[in-house]
Amino acid sequence: MRAIVSVTNDLTTDQRVDRTCNTLVKLGYDVLLVGRKRKYSLPLLHRNYRMRRMQLLFNKGPLFYAEYNIRLFLFLLFKRKDMLVSNDLDTLPANYFFSMIHLSKSRRCLLHDCHEYFRGVPELVGRKTTTRIWKGIEDFIFPKLTCVVAVNHSVAELYHQEYGVPVTVIRNVPYRRTGTIPIDKQSLGIKPDQRVILYQGAVNVERGIEETILAMRYIRSNAILVIAGIGDRYKLLTKYPREQGVEGKVIFLGQIPFQKLHSYTPIADIGISLEKDVSLNYHYSLPNKFLDYIQAGVPVLISPFPEMKTIVDHYFIGEIIENHDPKHIAEKIDTMLMDCNRYDMYKENLRLAADELCWENEEEKLIRVIANQGTLSTPD
């Protein structure tokens, strides 16, 4: 059996899609993951499935999404497949229309994975025309879908309430990590006695990164902020520490493939996920980085969003900010790092949280979804 999985990213850092592909391989599918190549894309490391990155003329905006879906539709025409997996709304049109036109009902296997509440992303806030276009696409396609999964209960409930379609929750939990050897901190220019505050993930708008950089002015602990990732704000933010007088207290690592990132995360003493409440997508998010911190045994400092807050409160594995004032963030970080008894309690509780919040447990739900969907297809 063959499965074609599609995304609009460059395949370098998407751990959720990698886990989905590996589960399909485990179930006997020959998997092809399709994305796009960008000018800064790193070479792809070996995986258990095939990959293809399309080179596109446009990199953003309406022309990019139109070109991507047209190219993907044409690509699907010439490939054998028993299952299609679309990830987020921006890959759905090509997958849906291909499945309707070129697959008979007995072979119509489309699994749609909602990584986020797409129309709630901050990039669409205030852009009424663009949001209306995406809503029109979603209103036309979503009610007709028969197999949908989502990253958390909040996103699943939003889509279920809006379209009446059953949505299965498959959380973004990582593989259980055992025996990971952390990278040497000194190789990154970090002194042995320095505590590490880590942000890993997309360096995009309203992630609280600017405020955390400013917080480094006020932190009393011997700590350094490490930022692993790139994004729309990356170039601007690399200049920010010097402008704000905290040069030497912030390190930018750039883009790191997720296979290598696992050795960076454990060097952290605190992992931050401080998104601002500017959109539904952020408010109901359960970020990859947050769950990666847990699996690496790293105490967390987070925004008071329901999905993350529920986990932090349940396991007591970190702290929750009340606002994005840099002095408040600095105070929270110092409290975590300077109260040794409290910090030891975080670390102890993280063992249980990591053991429960892992892909080995979550994968069983995805296997059931794929098995049910797979009954509609005929193996080669």
| pLDDT value of position 103 | 59
Mind giving me the DSSP string for 39-79?
TTPPPPPP-SSEEEEEE-S--SHHHHHHHHHHHHHHHHHTS
| pLDDT value of position 379 | 30
Structure-token pair, residue 239 = 């200049």
Q: Of 23-32, 106-115, 317-326, where does mean pLDDT reach its minimum?
A: 106-115
| 2-173+359-374 CATH choice from 2.40.50.100, 3.40.50.2000, 3.30.1600.10, 3.40.50.2300 | 3.40.50.2000
Question: Cβ distance 228 to 200 under 8 Å?
Answer: yes
| pLDDT value of position 375 | 43
Structure-token pair, residue 274 = 């401080």
> How would residue 338 be classed by pLDDT, with cut points 50, 70 and 90?
very high
Q: Of 29-38, 159-168, 173-182, 358-367, where does mean pLDDT reach its minimum?
A: 173-182
Dihedral of alpha carbons 144, 376, 149, 38, sign = negative
| pLDDT value of position 2 | 93
**pTM of the entire predicted model:** 0.86
| pLDDT value of position 106 | 43
pLDDT, tens only, 41-82: 989 989 999 999 999 999 989 999 999 999 999 999 988 888
Label residue 327 exposed, middle or buried (CB < 10 Å: 0-12, 13-18, 19+): middle
pLDDT, tens only, 174-184: 999 888 899 99
Percentage of residues in the chain having pLDDT higher than 90: 82
Residue span(s) of the chain under CATH 3.40.50.2000 come to 2-173+359-374, 185-356
Q: Tokens 């901050």 correspond to what residue?
A: 122
| pLDDT value of position 108 | 58
First-to-final CA distance of the chain: 6
pLDDT, tens only, 217-244: 999 999 999 999 999 999 999 999 999 9
Q: Which among 196, 354, 334 is positioned nearest to 267, based on CA atoms?
A: 196
pLDDT, tens only, 123-166: 777 788 888 999 999 999 999 999 999 999 999 999 999 999 99
Q: Calculate mean pLDDT across residues 261-286.
A: 94
Using the predicted structure, report yes or no on whether residue 380 has a pLDDT greater than 60: no
**What is the domain class of 185-356 according to CATH?**
alpha beta
| pLDDT value of position 374 | 54
The residues facing 83 across adjacent strands are 3
| pLDDT value of position 105 | 52
Q: Calculate mean pLDDT across residues 286-303.
A: 96
For residue 195, what is the enclosing H or E element? strand 195-200
| pLDDT value of position 118 | 87
